[in-house]
A and B are shown apart, each in its own frame.
Chain A
Amino acid sequence: MTMDPVLSLRTDNPREVRAAQVEPPVTWRRTKALSRAVAVAAVCLLAAVAFGRVDLVLIAAPFAIGTAVLLQRRPHRPPEVRMAPLEGTGTDLTCAEGATAAARVIVANPEPVPVTTVVTAVADPWIDLHTGKGDFASALAPQSGRDLVVAGTARRWGEHRLGPVHVRSVACGGLLETTVQRLPGLTAWVVPVPDWFDSAESLPFAEGVTGVHRSRRGGDSGELAEVRLYQPGDRLRRIDWRTSMRTRDLYVNATLSERDTDVTLVLDLQVEAGVSGGLDGAASIADLTVRAAGAVASHYALQGDRTACVEFGARGRRMRAGAGRRHAAATLRWLAAVEIPQDPVPPSPEMLRRQLAGQRSLNVVFTPLLTDRSIALIAALARAGRPVLCVDTLPPHVSPPRRTHWTPYAERLWRLSRDNTLMELRDLGVAVEPWQGAASLDAVLAQLTRRRYR
């Protein structure tokens, strides 16, 4: 039978094709301690017989007695082990940055013999396993089960791995042990803890019929616009009786309608620079981008605005628009899956511009402004008349590694060139502001709103 030549072609996968590895079944086996005890007892007894010495019988006695006592009852079936999140029964767990990522190793001992279970867990470098929660031994009573907790502090947002976990059981005082059982571990989704962001400014292009932003149009709400003379058609409950009594004319309180708006967050994920130090350390570009986007998205989504997220990077993921507490939590979970590949496919600014929502939504672009494509995208959005707020996410401490003595001068020239680019963007009507946490965007939002209603 001839083989199809197509089958022998190399696949795209660089890993060689090989048979799937099957984990060997977990079984009990003797340890070197058992061999040692038997060897010492046997050699001493043989020597005692050969040389006729009582003292050698005495030396062999504890080894023989101890081994016989320990092996009186020995296990046959290995303990059953599985892994699950600390809460729930899924295959992955979610926690916040700086919080504890924890999983349960559920061990059941079916034998009428006490067993000691040794659990050795490893985790991502971003999960610091707690002392006594990653490498520990626990005694299991006969025919009982126990939940052993593997836990660590998640130091950075993202997709991390809690595991693999190696479980080995020891019985009969260390004379018998099981082979190592490897549990693959769980995926820990660590959602970013966003920087605190609060803005008192209204957004430009507020539309819709309900919301929290006051518009320039009159309407029925609580936002006071003016006190004016009564006109036919005004509602009676709007009459300002105090002013009417004072002026002897009928005055009403006119209010501004309240509107909501769309906020689209564009995350520039083309390049990563700087070394992330986790929650308490220095921030890289990705850290700053994710935490700033999380802060802005949470603020506006909880306020009631429809918030959407788009990746401007190799993966080009999108998060649908939505509002409310659940959407804010879903956005943080979406942000936890952000990653910047080492060799990304460059994204197309034109394609992204076409994908963005309506003309009237506020576009907040989180970018370190390190590539021409991101600058081209922002310029194209501004030229199309869309309100663009550019949040500079280049951390101030990030600088190129010093290679020669020309490096500082080259860096200075590069920074001057970057400042020129920022000025050109501001000339196009783009509000550019470095991310500095709470209320850092209020000034530029006020500029945008003023420009809109000028």
Chain B
Amino acid sequence: MSDIQRGLLQALRDGARERAKAGRAGGVSWARRVAPAPVLLRLLTALTLFTASELAVPPEWAGAGFYVAVAALLALIAALAPAGAAPLVAIGFTIAAWLVSDALDGDGSPTLWTAAGLACLLYTGHSAAAVAQRFRTTTAMDGEIILTWAKHLGLVLASTVAIALTLALFTAYFTGLTAGLAVGAGIVAAVTVIYVLARSLHKAT
């Protein structure tokens, strides 16, 4: 082996050693700086989205390897990149699975409470991703941020349960009006949402 080749090999070996050392130091540094709050928020995003996608389908689907793998992958991507489109994809996948499973499995139609649980889980995942979207895993968070988010989440989930309760009462008394009720509630809710959003997003001159 010539001196040039020996020098080249030495340089390659040194470079690889330096990279390994830098990688190890980076890992140790990350482990030292990691903050619990953003990690827990991301964990909550993944868990709620995965649980929602498992709840949305019948047990035989929920136990299927392919379905579990896809749901876990989407939940994991949503947790790792909460600022991107991944949470929307995961929520869309869950709702699509809910609709498709209901269409294919007509005799075992899901209860209203399952839908309420699904809504709560999806909104928890969505709001956790919204809060965590600009925080890195090493961002030290003020406790006030988590407290505000938890209060908001509690309020919305309580409202959802209240709506579910109201709908359950209505459907119990007026079983024949379910479809008409859905159309009416949907139209009223859509108009309300559009009005509120348009009013709040209107730029004051």
Contact = CB atoms under 8 A, between A and B. Distances in A.
B42 interface: no
Indicate the member of A32, A47, A132 with the most B CB atoms within 10 Å: A32
Nearest to B190: A45
Contact of B91 (A36, A114, A402, A404): A36
Nearest to A176: B201
Given A47-B99, A55-B115, A139-B145, A65 B156 contact: yes
B3 A404 contact: yes
B35 interface: yes
A286 B200 CA distance: 61
A173 B130 contact: yes
A69 to B, nearest CB: 7
Contacts of B197: 38, 67-68, 71
Contact of A139 (B99, B126, B142): B142
A49 interface: yes
Contacts of A340: none
Given A32-B88, A66-B127, A114 B148 contact: yes
B196 A71 contact: yes
B123 A66 contact: yes
Contacts, number: 200
Given A55-B112, A118-B139, A402-B10, A70 B152 contact: yes
A44 B134 CA distance: 27
Given A45-B186, A66-B127, A114-B148, A58 B119 contact: yes
Contacts of A44: 95
Contact of B131 (A52, A135, A174): A174
Contact of A177 (B87, B110, B134, B157): B134
B180 to A, nearest CB: 8
A38 B148 CA distance: 21
The size bracket of the interface on B is 35 or more
Nearest to B89: A36
Given A37-B126, A132-B140, A57 B120 contact: no
A344 interface: no
Contacts of A63: 122-123, 126
Interface in B132-182: 132-136, 138-142, 144-145, 148-149, 152, 155-157, 159-160, 163-164, 167, 171, 178-182
Classify the secondary structure of B's interface with A: helix
B133 A32 contact: yes
Contacts of A375: none
Contact of B136 (A67, A74, A114, A135): A135
Interface residues of A, number: 62
B85 interface: yes
A404 B7 contact: yes
B88 A69 contact: no
Contacts of B163: 58, 61
B126 A56 contact: no
Nearest to A169: B134
Contacts of A74: 200-201
A413 interface: no
A57 B132 CA distance: 27
B43 interface: no
B185 A57 contact: yes
B130 A48 contact: no
Interface of A: 30-33, 35-49, 52-72, 74, 76, 114, 116, 118, 120, 131-132, 135-139, 168, 170, 173-175, 177, 402-404
15 contacts: A32-B83, A37-B126, A40-B91, A42-B190, A45-B193, A48-B183, A57-B189, A58-B160, A58-B163, A64-B192, A65-B159, A71-B201, A72-B200, A114-B148, A174-B130
Interface of B: 3, 6-7, 10, 32-33, 35, 83-85, 87-88, 91-92, 95, 98-99, 110, 112, 114-116, 118-120, 122-123, 126-127, 129-136, 138-142, 144-145, 148-149, 152, 155-157, 159-160, 163-164, 167, 171, 178-183, 185-187, 189-190, 192-193, 196-197, 200-201, 204
